[in-house]
Structure 1
Amino acid sequence: MTHHPDHEVELYRDEGAYEVYVDVPGYDRGDFDLRWHDGRLRVTAEQRDAEGETRVYNRHVSVPRRIEADEISATYSDGVLHVRLPISADESRPGTRIEVSE
C-alpha cells in the first residue's frame, strides 16, 4: 500500500533511514531525475504533452546525517515518489561544528 502524504513533500526518520515521500501525480517513472549531492536530494521531473507544453517539478530535500549514497532506493506508485536514504553507520553530522561564544 502506498503512503499518500498530507503535504507535497514529507520527510521521516525510521529504522536507520530517512524516508522521503513526494506527492507528484501524473508523471511516469521515466520522467524523474533523482540526484544525491552534497547532503541534498534533488527531485526533478519533466513531462511534455502532445501540444509540446512542458510540465516541470523541481524540489530539494536536505537531511542532517550522512547517507550511504550507494544504498539509496526509490519507487513511484499511485502518484507518490518514495525515496529511502539509508543513514551511514558513522552517525556524525556532516560539516564542522562551530562553538558559540559570549
Structure 2
Amino acid sequence: DAKGLLISAIRDPDPVIFFEPKRIYRAFREEVPEDEYTVPIGTCRVVKEGDEITMISWGASVVQCMNAIEQSGRSIELIDLRTISPIDMDTIEASVNKTGRCVIVHEAL
C-alpha cells in the first residue's frame, strides 16, 4: 500500500502529510508491483475478516496486530486505516456493526 499511497499523495492537489515509520522498513517483506498504481486517499483496507471484534490500526502497528490475531486463534477483523484524514467511516461502521465491538491499537510512545 505504501507505494500506491505515496503516488496518490504526490498527485493530490491538497497538502498531504505522509508518515513513514522506520520500524516497518525491515519488519516484513511484500512484493511491490513494478507498474504504477494508486491507493485512493481516505480508504481503509480490511486486512483480515473476522466476526468477534473489530481491531483498527495503522502504520507499523498493523503488523503487530496481525501477529497477535494469529496467536490468539480468535475471529478478529483487522482494519488498516491507511489514512487518518479523511477517514473511511463506511468501512469502519460496517465492520463494527458486524462484530459489535471495537478496539483501536496505536503506537504509544
Q: TM-score range by the shorter chain?
A: under 0.3
The TM-score normalised by the length of structure 1 is 0.25
Tell me which protein shows more helix as a share of its residues: 2
Q: Which has the higher contact order (CA 8 A, sep 6+)?
A: 2
Tell me which protein shows more strand as a share of its residues: 1
Q: Which has the larger radius of gyration?
A: 1
